[in-house]
Structure 1
Amino acid sequence: MASQERALRADAARNYERIVGAAIVAFEEVGPEVTLEEIAGRAAVSVATVYRRFRTREQVVRAVLDHVLTTEIEPMAAAHTDDPWRDLAGLLETAIEALAGHRVLLAVARESPKFDLESMHRCVHSMQLLLRRAIEAGVVRPELEVRDLAAVIVMTLATVHPGDPHGADRKRYLALLLDGLRASRDTLPPPSSHDLPGSPRQQ
Structure 2
Amino acid sequence: MSPATDTAERRATRPRADALRNRERIVAAAREMFVEFGPEVPLDEIARRAGVGNATLYRNFADRAALVHEVVLAVLGGTAERAEEAAAGEPDPFVALSRFTHAAADERIGALCPMLAGGVDFDKDHPDLLAERDRLEGVVQGLVDRAHAAGRLRADVAVGDLLVALSQLTRPLPGFACLDIDRYTHRHLQLFLDGIEAPARSELPGTAATLEDLRRGP
TM normalised by structure 2 equals 0.59
**Structure 1 partner of 2:6:** none
CA displacement, residues 81-126 of structure 1 (integer Å, 9 cap, x when unaligned): 22111100110011012218xx9xx4x97376347xx799543443
Contact 2:26/2:57 (<8 A) preserved: no
**Structure 2 partner of 1:95:** 104
The equivalent position to 2:141 in structure 1, one of 110, 128, 139, is 128
Question: Unaligned 5+ residue runs, structure 2?
Answer: 1-9
**Structure 1 partner of 2:67:** 60
Which whole-Å CA distance do the structure 2 matches of 1:129 and 1:111 have between them? 26
Which whole-Å CA distance do the structure 2 matches of 1:137 and 1:157 have between them? 27
Map 1:111-190; keep pairs closer than 5 Å.
113-114=117-118, 121-122=133-134, 123-159=136-172, 162-165=177-180, 167-183=182-198, 184=200, 186=203, 188-190=205-207
CA displacement, residues 155-201 of structure 1 (integer Å, 9 cap, x when unaligned): 111347642426332123212221221221635521577614236xx
- The answer to whether structure 1 residue 84 and structure 2 residue 93 are counterparts is yes
**Structure 2 partner of 1:3:** none
Which whole-Å CA distance do the structure 2 matches of 1:58 and 1:109 have between them? 15
**Structure 1 partner of 2:24:** 21
Contact 1:19/1:50 (<8 A) preserved: no
Contact 1:125/1:146 (<8 A) preserved: no
Q: How many Å apart are 1:24 and its aligned residue?
A: 1.5
Change in Cα spacing, 1:182 to 1:114, as seen in structure 2 (3 Å) is farther
Contact 2:97/2:143 (<8 A) preserved: yes
Q: Flag the structure with larger Rg.
A: 2
- The answer to whether structure 1 residue 33 and structure 2 residue 42 are counterparts is yes
Identity %: 19
Question: Unaligned 5+ residue runs, structure 1?
Answer: 1-6
* Counterpart secondary structure, 2:214: coil
TM normalised by structure 1 equals 0.62
* Counterpart secondary structure, 1:62: helix
Which whole-Å CA distance do the structure 1 matches of 2:185 and 2:29 have between them? 25
Which whole-Å CA distance do the structure 1 matches of 2:57 and 2:177 have between them? 33
Q: How many Å apart are 1:47 and its aligned residue?
A: 4.7
Change in Cα spacing, 1:22 to 1:76, as seen in structure 2 (3 Å) is closer
* Counterpart secondary structure, 1:126: helix
The one-letter code of the counterpart of 1:186 is E
| Residue-pair matches, total | 177
